Amino acid sequence: MIGLHPRLGQFLALTFKIVSMSHFLEQAGLFDKVIRLDAEEQADPFLVFDRFFNDYRLHEWRHNLWTMSEVCLTTDNPQFASAEERANLLLRYQDLEKLLEAAFLALQQYNAETTSRNTPSQ
């Protein structure tokens, strides 16, 4: 921001550092639940695992994750200078988010089934 200093009559350049908390932390109640999976995927989270690993091989994901980390930690990676390449990284992020949600649901379902099997019927 550039402004005229009232006493000095000089223009001063002021920079403001915007400090923002992650919207995931600011709205934990909203983001602490499944939001990306559709009804079919929520009913059977293993569909997401199946689709995920049919679309990507494990070595490709290792490469994608490394690339995402590298891009985030470095600033001059010309491979990701185009908006399209960065959009592809965001799409992969969303796929990973769906995978996390499916794993979250699968674990919840597994735990519920395990608990019901171990609870004596009356």
Domain membership of residue 29 (yes or no) is: no
Distance of CA 87 to the CA centre of its chain: 13
**How much is the average pLDDT of 10-16?**
48
Domain membership of residue 10 (yes or no) is: no
Domain membership of residue 5 (yes or no) is: no
Predicted confidence band of residue 42 (pLDDT cuts 50, 70, 90): very high
Mean pLDDT of the chain: 77
Residue 2: the pLDDT is: 46
Q: Label residue 45 exposed, middle or buried (CB < 10 Å: 0-12, 13-18, 19+).
A: buried
Domain membership of residue 41 (yes or no) is: yes
Domain membership of residue 76 (yes or no) is: yes
Distance of CA 102 to the CA centre of its chain: 14
Residue 9: the pLDDT is: 54
Q: How many domains does the chain have?
A: 1
Task: Give CA torsion, residues 84, 35, 102, 73, to 10 deg.
Answer: 40
Asked whether the predicted pLDDT for residue 38 surpasses 90, the reply is yes
Domain membership of residue 16 (yes or no) is: no
Domain membership of residue 79 (yes or no) is: yes
Taking only the tens place, the pLDDT of each residue in 44-62 is 988 888 888 888 888 888 8
Residue 39: the pLDDT is: 96
Taking only the tens place, the pLDDT of each residue in 99-118 is 888 988 898 898 888 888 88
Residue 15: the pLDDT is: 47
Residue 14: the pLDDT is: 46
Domain membership of residue 11 (yes or no) is: no
**Structural domain span for residue 44:** 34-115
Task: Tell me the percentage of the chain whose pLDDT exceeds 90.
Answer: 9
**What pTM value is reported for the model?**
0.54
